[in-house]
Amino acid sequence: MGLPFIVLNYKTYLQGTGQGAVEIAKACKAVSEDSGIEIAVAPQLPDIYRVASEVELPVFSQHLDGIGAGSFTGHVFGKSIKDAGAVGTLINHSEKRLTLAEIEASLKAAKKFGLRSVICTNNVPTTAAAAALGPDYVAIEPPELIGSGIPVSKADPEVVSGSVEAVAKINSQVKVLCGAGISKGEDLRAALDLGSQGVLLASGIVKAADPKAALEDLIRLV
Ligand SMILES: O=C[C@H](O)COP(=O)(O)O
């Protein structure tokens, strides 16, 4: 078991908007350099270029549409976020739910533009379905725990271990992240002990008074 992969989703939290997006990214870079743990950030679309230009760390989009060049007003085009400096994307986050066909199309677009892909899921069956599509990662997140501060690794460990088992049977190349309520070192430790290879988190870090200190606590038991 190597070091975990951590994805910090800024969502549309004020603290992670505009220059705040850069400041949190700097904190993530510092902790990543000190620990050797890969930490990616997912700012809002307009902040991707700003963060990627100012801070050397993996930047992910919060969403990607399965469209190409042309008349797709208001959509997220893979080449646009790639050229802005993104190296990956979330797909199907519970706050940006897609149909199965849309998920497949978004994943196809991610692969076309060489973007690392994290398909977000809400239970074991949807995790198994997502793994069958062949993303780089799935991220299992029970929606009812998102933003609750109640870590999935304690509140619903079976959904994590069950997702790990399901993915291993379907496509062992797909890595499993988990999320929802993760904020402390013991939450990440529990998630890793359940077989996940990292976490997707947001409020515990982005809304923290000191995001760098919160990140240092998060990784202290790795
Ligand atoms: O994208 C992150 C997940 O929705 C978890 O959010 P949270 O860490 O605020 O519970």
> Where are the chain's structural domains?
5-218
CATH homologous superfamily for the domain 5-218: Aldolase class I (3.20.20.70)
Residue 46: φ, ψ to 5°: -65, -15
Q: Give the Cα separation of 218 and 31 in Å (integer).
A: 10
**Measuring from atom 4 of ligand 1, which residue has the nearest CA?**
146
Residue in 203, 215, 218 to alter for ligand 1 test, most ligand atoms within 8 A of Cβ? 203
138-168 pLDDT tens trace? 999 999 999 998 999 899 999 999 999 999 9
Q: Is 38 noted as a catalytic residue in this protein? A: no
Mean pLDDT of the 118-147 span: 97
Q: Which residues are CB-neighbours of 136 under 8 A, at least 6 positions away?
A: 88, 116, 117, 118, 174, 175
Instruction: Give the position of tokens 């949190």.
Output: 24
8: enclosing H helix or E strand: strand 5-9
pLDDT the model gives residue 2 = 87
Mean pLDDT of the 12-18 span: 98
| CA of 84 relative to ligand 1 center, distance in Å | 24
Q: Give the Cα separation of 158 and 194 in Å (integer).
A: 8
54-71 pLDDT tens trace? 999 999 999 999 999 999
Summary mean pLDDT of the chain = 97
Q: Is 33 noted as a catalytic residue in this protein? A: no
70-113 pLDDT tens trace? 999 999 999 999 999 999 999 999 999 999 999 999 999 999 99
| CA of 11 relative to ligand 1 center, distance in Å | 8
